[in-house]
Amino acid sequence: MNLKRVAVLLSAGRHPVSGESRHCRNDSLALTLGLNLAHELAVLHAGETDNPALQDYLALGANQINVVPNTGNIIESLATHLSDTDLILTGTRAENGEDSGLLPYLLAARLNLPLVADVL
């Protein structure tokens, strides 16, 4: 498979007992898949630059995490950064915040890209 631009979208989860910020299991799986698929991988997080969960993803192999500021329309913000991406990997659903699970679908529709759900 010849994928030139692969991106992984990461969210911050919450530990179920302590409530502390941490990586999301499914986003971690998406990151692992991306690291195995792509020579150069763009890793993005929409939200706060100082979120402690981002350190977890660096420990799991991400070289760098680009933080996209949430300016109110996260789909448009992400679409701007991902417009020339061949493959976008996400988890199935964020573990906190606005975790409706619709972001991958809305982003795929906005970028006019196919979506394959529940691969992980």
pLDDT in tens, 68-118: 987 788 899 999 999 888 888 888 766 665 566 788 889 999 999 888 777
Q: Report CA torsion sign: 90, 92, 95, 101.
A: positive
What pLDDT sits at residue 1?
Answer: 58
Identify which has the larger pLDDT, 51 or 120: 51
* Of residues 41, 32, 44, 55, the one with CA closest to residue 120: 32
What pLDDT sits at residue 55?
Answer: 93
Q: How far apart are CA 75 and CA 93, in angstroms?
A: 15
Q: Do 36 and 115 contact (CB within 8 A), yes or no?
A: no
What pLDDT sits at residue 97?
Answer: 58
Please give the backbone phi and psi of residue 66, each rounded to the nearest 5 degrees, phi first.
Answer: -90, 120
